[in-house]
Structure 1
Amino acid sequence: MINVTKSLIRNQYLFLAYKLNPYIMKKILYSTDFSKNAGDAFPLALEIAKKHGAELHFLNVIDIPTAWDFPYTDDPLVMEEQALSSSEKGLEEFINTHYSNTGEDLRFFIHSFENTSVVGGILACIEKINPDLLVVGIKGSSKVRELLIGSTTKALLSESPVPVLAIPEESTVRDFNQVLYLSDIVEDDIPALNWLVKFVTPFDPEIEVTHVSTHFTKDGENMFHHKEELMEKVNYSHLKITSRLFDSINKGVFSLLSETKVDLLVMLEKEKKGFWGKLLHRDHVKQMEFRVSIPLLAIPQARFHSNS
């Protein structure tokens, strides 16, 4: 009876959330190449799907098959069919291996896309199913320059039309208690934060909005006015807004990460003009030695159709 009651309460919550919340997760796209780092990203993707009652879509991108892969036939159509069938079977085996049905009413869907580019295949799938969030795993590493600079992840962060949650192989995060949003003091912080609030509300975390600056006088004044607007237009009780001065952007970011236990680092992707562009700039990345083991969320500014 208790489980039934909890289920009814949860279903009522989700029904109301769907009615009132246009940004709640309804579809989550989880891309896997069956590697360890992709597998390690699955538990958090699954937890998000559970929290939102969302569909969880599994994607595997395959390259164009060749006779080397299928030596028993030289028919391109047969090779393609076999490759797609093998990919779908791999996705089914992945689900069976990594998920134990404990009575949750979860909806799984599998997709296999053929593309010479992993990024191209993922973007094609996004266009087809229109997910609310893309979840990918990042190769594990001890240095940020090796962790973040991977071409696939970097391209997805800048090209995906939907928010991208990149989960490092070393991450053990299964819940969001402390969220750090790095602000560039732009108008689109408001819709981005409202989207973020609706995304993390089922986890009920603290959200700290921080502007990292190397020129405190001007930026500090701008952040003061920006803070007032954010507090007025972003409705979330656990919201804290600050501005911090550091010698450099990258040192500031990793100093903040070392000061407190952050479970999710969030940035507004501004086509290489925002924090992602600064952090991934070659000169900055060379200096970074900080271990990153927390999920990274990039919210595309283009999603909000602003001229900021």
Structure 2
Amino acid sequence: MSLPINIIAATNFSETANNAVNYAAGIAKSTGAKLILFNSFSLSVHSANSQITAEAMQKQIDKNTERLQNLGNDLSKLYNIEVSTCCSFSFVEDFLKEIIEKTNAELVVMGMAERSLEQDIMGNTTTSVIKNLKIPVLAVPINASYKTANKILYACDTLSLTSIKKFSWLRKIVGTLGGEIEFFSVEEKLNTLKEEQSETLIKSIANEELQEVKYVYKSVRSNTVINEIHKEIETYGADILVMVPQKYGFWDSLVHRSKTRIMAAGLSIPLLSYPAL
């Protein structure tokens, strides 16, 4: 019998973050996972400028820790799941990496920000975590409630055996996949479904682990990738969007804006981001 997986749910106690925590609890209940509630905080500018004492700092940590523990106890009773808590005064990404290493967590769940120009250009805590962590991150919009993902939209540049095999992991996290997965590619140049991609798809379907899932492949021609993904979410009726961020070098990063980062705000469905290979 395999050990239960660990899921980390990060919260700053905002409405958006706590909705993501409840979504993570829903996943934990349906998969038998352990839920780890995580809160990392920093001082306000006023507190930092006033040179807060060590005693006052400890009081703030104790206050957040108690609040997090109360939330964990409520979730444990409501969802009948195992919940632990972890609170720290530190930068979110740094402490998340420590917790992931200690717990061997396989998924981080965070709230999804509202769409804004600032978000598109600068990103936010969630998009920064997506960029820098080496495990999948699920960004959950404020109005999303946990349910079985019957239709999964995977927006990808190209179809490969590696990209398809990722969904054996998704089965473990989301539960039994009785629905279907659409591999959706937006081509800036006219391109038809390549024969080798067809063969890859057929081989993967033959894999016993993925046999019961229905696959669809769709490619469209457009130079407005983000708009096409938004349209396909509605057309397909997707329950969850999956993307893999591309890793750019320093000079490329000056002219590229991550499509995953832009998509990680203002969606009506959760976005699951796999770490780039």
TM range (shorter): 0.7 to 0.9
Match of 1:32 in 2: 11
In the TM superposition, 1:62-81 aligns within 5 A as: 62-63=41-42, 68=47, 75-76=53-54, 78-81=55-58
Q: Does 1:267 find its partner at 2:246?
A: no
For the 8 Å contact 1:65–1:79, the answer to whether it is kept is no
- 1:121 Cα deviation (Å)? 2.6
Gaps of 5+ in 1: 1-14, 20-24, 303-308
Partners of 2:117 and 2:241 lie apart in 1 by 14
- 1:205 Cα deviation (Å)? 3.4
Partners of 2:236 and 2:139 lie apart in 1 by 20
Q: Are residues 279 and 74 of structure 1, via their aligned partners in 2, closer, same or farther at CA, if it must alter by over 3 Å?
A: closer
Q: Which of these residues, 193, 204, 218, is aligned with residue 178 of structure 2? A: 204
Counterpart code for 2:35 = L
- 1:277 Cα deviation (Å)? 5.9
Q: Which of these residues, 98, 103, 106, is aligned with residue 132 of structure 1? A: 106
Partners of 1:209 and 1:185 lie apart in 2 by 7
SS across alignment from 2:186: strand
Match of 2:148 in 1: 175
Q: Are residues 280 and 211 of structure 1, via their aligned partners in 2, closer, same or farther at CA, if it must alter by over 3 Å?
A: closer
Partners of 2:238 and 2:44 lie apart in 1 by 42
The TM-score, its normalising length taken from structure 1, stands at 0.73
SS across alignment from 1:93: helix
Q: Does 1:85 find its partner at 2:62?
A: yes
Q: Does 1:251 find its partner at 2:227?
A: yes
Match of 1:279 in 2: 259
Counterpart code for 1:128 = K
SS across alignment from 1:40: helix
For the 8 Å contact 2:192–2:219, the answer to whether it is kept is no
For the 8 Å contact 1:38–1:137, the answer to whether it is kept is yes
Count residues in correspondence. 267
SS across alignment from 1:49: helix
For the 8 Å contact 1:176–1:205, the answer to whether it is kept is yes
Counterpart code for 1:197 = R
Q: Which of these residues, 151, 155, 171, is aligned with residue 128 of structure 2? A: 155
The TM-score, its normalising length taken from structure 2, stands at 0.81
For the 8 Å contact 2:72–2:84, the answer to whether it is kept is no
SS across alignment from 1:301: coil
Counterpart code for 1:88 = T
What do the CA deviations read for 1:255-296 (whole angstroms, capped 9, x no partner)? 2112022111012234259xx965258xxx5xx9x9621000
For the 8 Å contact 2:186–2:228, the answer to whether it is kept is yes
Q: Does 1:57 find its partner at 2:36?
A: yes
Partners of 1:293 and 1:95 lie apart in 2 by 26
Match of 1:120 in 2: 94
Match of 1:301 in 2: 276
Partners of 2:121 and 2:205 lie apart in 1 by 32
Match of 1:165 in 2: 138
What do the CA deviations read for 1:33-91 (whole angstroms, capped 9, x no partner)? 0011001112211110001111110000022689938x8x9642x34432321121110
Gaps of 5+ in 2: 250-255
